[in-house]
Structure 1
Amino acid sequence: MRIWELFQMAMATIRSNPLRTVLTMLGVIIGVASVITLVSIGQGTSKAIEKQYEGLGTNLLTVTLLGNGRATQLNYDDLMTLEGTAGIATIAPTMTQNSSIKYDRTTESYNVIGTNDRYLDVQKGKMASGRFLAEADLDYRNHVAVIGTEVATKFFGKDDPVGEEINVKGYMYTIIGVLQTKGSNTSGTSLDSSVLVPLPTMSRDFKLGSIRTAYVEASSGDLVARAQVALEAYLYQKFKSTSGYNILNSSELISARQSASSTLTNQLVAVAAISLLVGGIGIMNIMLVTVSERTREIGIRKSIGAKRRNILLQFLVEATLISGMGGLIGLIVGISLSLAWPYINPSQQTSLSLNIGLYAFLFSALVGVIFGLYPANKASKLKPIDALRFD
């Protein structure tokens, strides 16, 4: 018997029981759609992580102090002596504190970051207008500030704020520049909603004596390990312990976050794949019922010359067709959900993978073959005389 004839017979059977067929497909549809949607969300998350850190490159080290007190304080001048040695190109120490910012009658809380003139280069930021902090601003403890785009919009709307004054913790700071939209850095601080001031000025005005974080950029990606060793030696010599600080390598952070995202995605996909197996069991169950219902038909076909392989192929094609149609519908649903998800949840982007969609569809068809074999084999083994006697 030709495959086309088997296909026509399978379609006729499916059309005769449309509701049962749809309910049988449901597990496969849900499984395929879930796999495609979850993988697209996982890949979207991974790409978002890459995009977040791609501007910083992979040669950035972040030093964070974990303890409190004088024994765990970094001295600005001592730290800056490392610049230009052991593969270290640039160092940008920071102090950060949330503070009320006032302009005219508007008051809002933003992060105030005290840093030096290297910070903009280390964070790969750009100026939208004005200038960034200069070394003279640090030497003379000038009351100047560079603000992010959110801060500028909040206080000044579309006007250019350069030259205006804002009140930061009771002190008047002159705005000298506005940053371009950047987003979050490695510490999760959004530069768009930050106010950057000279580190010595902030230390005096905020009465802060401790540098808690420093961004260190290696001369090249090949010298990151050398720069990290030099930092660890400096910090160990200073604190006589390795427990009071943490050095984070940006490339390691990207890999760790991508690995965590990939692991979570794989776990979710594994759970979704269970739906495909459940769908396969449903197909096998329905095919067994179909064999039982069509026992006399099988007996008649065998009595007029149908061979065992003809009966086997008939039911196997039917099971594969049901599973394949469910996989195709699931593929369409999964792609639709993946495209619609960013509109449902704007903070979560997706990235469609055609390969995953193809694999999910082929797997759904394979499920039909695997779970259709037993009912098909059972039907093919029926003896014509026993089948014709069946009521």
Structure 2
Amino acid sequence: MSFFETFQLAVKNILGSKMRTFLTMLGIIIGVCAVIVIVGLGNGMQGYIQESFADMGTDSLTVMIMGRGSSRSVSEEQMYEMVADNAETLKQISPTVSMSGSLKIGSDTVSATSISGVSEDYFSIRGYEVSQGRGIQYTDISGRKKVCVVGQYLNMAYYGGNAVGQTLKIGGRTFTIVGVMAAQTEDLEEGGTDDCVFLPYSTAARMSFTGTINSYTITVQNTDQISQAKTLVENELYKVFEDDDAYTVSSMAEMVEEMNSMVNMIIYILAGIAAISLVVGGIGIMNIMLVSVTERTREIGIRKALGAKEGAIMRQFVIEAAATSALGGVLGILLGYGLSAAATTIIANVMPDTPITVSPSLAAVVLAFGVSTGIGIVFGYLPAKKAAVLNPIDALRYE
């Protein structure tokens, strides 16, 4: 009997008991579906993490200077020189000063707005655009001018879209608005990305009373050089402080990589747990194939009496088990894609600000299908072997 004829016979036997076959495949279907959905969810989370951090600049380094008391310190001029001296690796630098002073617009006191002192290069580093007026300029920094750029939320909520030329107060000091940042999000809300004020870092440093700057953002010429750039900055700072605890250098790319590693670890664990149902499904296939061998004992005896070899009998039952598990794998894949699409829709409706697309990878689909088919072959071997070694005389006498 040819392979095609054997396969046809296996399909005929499967279709002969549809409900029993479906219940047998159920473990395989659930296992394959669960693996596909879980891997798809992991891919969606990784995509969301990368998209979220992309706005913060995966080509940038964040440098925090703690220093070693008054004996060892580094000025912004030294940091600028470091970038200029290593222009083949480092690209731009911006000191950043976070402000905690109160913000007043007219008679309103605004508490949720983020206030930062930055350089003229900060907007290009972050990929921000100015929609009205101008950005922070070098003359603003060198002259410690009291000017600022506001986010689109403040522009629309307090100035009716005409903030340029208006004033606001930070820490009791009056600042003139020279520019408005382009909207970063569709929803303008209090405390959001567009609820912000940027002023010259030199002015912000003076208003902080200490006058020191301990935070910098540095970009690299090429994202492939991010590790090299981080090592370079660390080495330069070590020359100044001779103490690793006096500073920290971190990169967004490394943070994304670490978060992706954590997500992958969780996904692998969940996928492994889900895959247990594949083993349960394989045990179900073995059980039903043993029952099938018992039910078809006389059939096996007749075929062997007519000259069928052990290999042909064994092949028939192995193919039947593999076909059952493969069909379960196909149904599991279809169900997995359906649930992935449904999960994407549900997430979009429940968490509109967290757009996660559950997208199963082709590798996961192929692996799940291959494993499901392999399980059918492995767990179908024992029943097939039992059928193949039956004594034809005993089989013909079986009632």
TM-score using structure 2 length: 0.81
Amino acid at match of 1:214: Y
Match of 1:28 in 2: 28
Q: Which residue of 2 aligns with 1:239?
A: 241
- Is the 2:102–2:109 contact (alpha carbons within 8 Å) kept by the matching residues of 1? no
Contact 2:67/2:241 (CA < 8 Å) preserved in 1?
no
Report the alpha carbon displacement of residue 176 of structure 1 after superposing the two structures with TM. 2.6
In structure 2, the partner of 1:372 is 380
Within the candidate set 185, 194, 197, 2:196 is matched to 194
Matches within 5 A, 1:1-391: 1-52=1-52, 59-65=59-65, 75-87=75-87, 88-97=90-99, 101-103=103-105, 105=108, 107-152=110-155, 154-155=157-158, 159-182=161-184, 191-207=193-209, 209-219=211-221, 228=230, 231-346=233-348, 347=354, 348-391=356-399
Separation of aligned partners in 2, 1:150 and 1:38 = 38
Counterpart secondary structure, 1:84: helix
CA distance in 2, matches of 1:317, 1:292: 17
- Contact 1:113-1:197 within 8 A present in 2 as well: yes
Query: Tell me, what secondary structure is at the counterpart of 2:149?
Result: strand
Q: Across the two proteins, how many residue pairs are aligned to each other?
A: 385
| TM-score using structure 1 length | 0.82
- Give 1:91's aligned amino acid: I
Q: 1:331 offset after TM fit, Å?
A: 0.9
Decide whether the 8 Å contact of 1:28 with 1:327 is kept in 2.
Answer: yes
Asked whether the 8 Å contact 1:71–1:239 carries over to 2, the reply is: no
2:62 partner SS: strand
Report if the CA contact (8 A) 2:57-2:125 is conserved. Answer: no
- TM-superposed CA distance for 1:226, in Å, is 7.0
Select between 266-275 and 64-73 the one with higher mean Cα deviation.
Answer: 64-73
Aligned partner of 2:150: which letter? I
Letter of the 2:368 counterpart:
A
Unaligned runs of 5+ in 1: 184-188
Q: 1:60 to 1:382 in 2, by over 3 A?
A: same
Greater Cα offset, 74-83 or 119-128: 74-83
2:57 touches 2:126 (CA, 8 Å); kept in 1? no
List per-residue Cα deviations over 1:25-54 (Å, max 9, x = no partner).
122112222222232233333344444455
Q: Which amino acid aligns with 1:76?
A: E
Residue 71 and residue 333 in structure 1: after superposition, are their counterparts in 2 closer, same or farther (change >3 A)?
farther
Structure 1 distance, partners of 2:393, 2:146, is: 101
TM superposition shift of 1:299: 3.0
Name whichever of 322-331 and 220-229 sits farther off: 220-229
Give unpaired runs (5+ residues) of structure 2.
186-190, 349-353
> Could you tell me whether the CA contact under 8 Å between 1:138 and 1:198 is conserved in 2?
yes
Cα distance in structure 1, aligned partners of 2:251 and 2:98: 20
* Separation (CA, whole Å) in 2 of partners of 1:319 and 1:151: 67
Cα deviation 1:209-230 (Å, max 9, x = unaligned): 4433211234556876775555
| Mapped partners of 2:66, 2:34: distance in 1 | 42
In 1, distance between residues paired with 2:226 and 2:296?
A: 72
Q: Which amino acid aligns with 2:148?
A: A
Alpha-carbon distance between aligned partners in 2 of 1:363 and 1:377, rounded to the nearest angstrom: 21
Distance 1:94 1:130 in 2: 22
1:279: Cα distance to partner? 1.9
Q: Displacement, 1:323?
A: 0.5
1:164, distance to aligned residue in structure 2 (A):
3.6
Q: CA deviation at 1:332?
A: 0.9
Deviation of 1:276 after TM superposition, in Å, equals 2.1
User: What is the alpha-carbon distance in structure 2 between the residues aligned to residue 38 and residue 112 of structure 1?
Assistant: 40
Partner of 1:186: none
Post-superposition Cα deviations, 1:163-212, rounded to whole Å, max 9, x if no partner, equal: 343444444433332333558xxxxx975443222223323445454433
Compute the displacement of 1:79 (Å): 3.1
Against the structure 1 CA distance between its residues 9 and 227, is the aligned structure 2 distance closer, same or farther, given a 3 Å change threshold?
closer
Shift of 1:368: 1.2
Q: Give the deviation of 1:109 after TM superposition.
A: 0.4
**In 1, are the aligned partners of 2:205 and 2:213 still within 8 Å (CA)?**
no
Moved more, 233-242 or 317-326: 233-242
Deviation larger for 94-103 or 285-294: 94-103
User: What is the Cα deviation at residue 310 of structure 1?
Assistant: 3.5
**Residue identity matched to 1:312:** M
Relative to 1, partners in 2 of residues 1:236 and 1:308: Cα closer, same or farther, differing over 3 Å? Answer: closer
Deviation larger for 317-326 or 91-100: 91-100
Whether the 8 Å CA contact 1:35–1:269 is kept in 2: the answer is yes
- 2:188 maps to none
CA contact (8 A) 1:100 1:109 kept: no
CA RMSD of superposed structures (Å): 3.5
Between stretches 288-297 and 103-112, larger displacement belongs to 103-112
Per the alignment, do residues 72 and 385 of structure 1 end up closer, same or farther by CA in structure 2, a change over 3 Å counting? farther
